[in-house]
Amino acid sequence: MGKGRLEAFSDGVIAIIITIMVLELHVPAGGGLRALRPLLPVFLSYVLSFVYLGIYWNNHHHMLHTVKKVSGPMLWANLHLLFWLSLVPFATGWMGVNRFAAGPTALYGGVLLLSAVAYFVLQEAIIASQGPDSILKEAVGGDWKGKVSPALYLAAIPLAFVSPWISNALYVAVAAIWLVPDRRIENALRAREGA
């Protein structure tokens, strides 16, 4: 099985998740600009999740660049990742509607954590299928980003009940870590081509 359809399906699901999320920005009944004020937290949570889904799409894209043949475990690991990502709109909406309250902020962290774990499982499934000479393994190396992120989510979940702002600062920080261009996979591919 080629990877084309796996990519297309994942793109489709991520595109729909990202767009469905905006439906939580309910059109207010009143026409005054004040009617927008209560929507501000919903909008901010939308921005955060949009960035996260953009990062996942981007990284998913790079990771699949190293794949030539899709195996059965890879396929289910990918669906597993899409499952957790599909819960992002719910967690985002709940956090936004409740103005970043403790419970919803903790749940949001939980969904991010499980998405990160699912991403890691997919990464390992790809590495396993590539054997000892895996280019993806070489590319991710020590994978400090992949290790720090779940640790920060794990810390953010209980911290939400101390102050949701700490947790949300952590979510923003993790997103920032990933937004910084990551050339590991590109470099590994280039190095191998050069060799």
| Minimum separation from the CB atom of position 18 to a copy of itself (A) | 6
| Nearest to a copy of itself of 105, 123 (CB atom) | 105
Question: SS3 sequence, the chain?
Answer: CCCHHHHHHHHHHHHHHHHHHHHHCCCCCCCCHHHHHHHHHHHHHHHHHHHHHHHHHHHHHHHHHCCCCCCHHHHHHHHHHHHHHHCHHHHHHHHHHCCCCHHHHHHHHHHHHHHHHHHHHHHHHHHHHHCCCCHHHHHHCCCHHHHHHHHHHHHHHHHCCCCHHHHHHHHHHHHHHHHCCCCHHHHHHHHHHHC
Q: Of the two residues 27 and 195, which places its CB atom closer to a copy of itself in the complex? A: 27
Residue with token string 């957790």:
84
CB of 95 to a copy of itself, least distance (A): 9
Judged by beta carbon, residue 129 or residue 132, the one nearer a copy of itself is 129
Residue whose CB is less far from a copy of itself, 32 or 194: 32
Binding site for a copy of itself (CB under 8 A): 1, 5, 7-9, 11-20, 22-25, 27-33, 35-36, 47, 50, 54, 57-58, 61-62, 65, 72, 75-76, 79, 82-83, 86-87, 89-90, 93-94, 97-98, 101-104, 106-107, 179, 181
> In the bound complex, what is the minimum distance in angstroms from residue 174's beta carbon to a copy of itself?
17
The nearest distance, CB 133 to a copy of itself, in angstroms, is 22
Least distance to a copy of itself, CB of residue 152, Å: 21
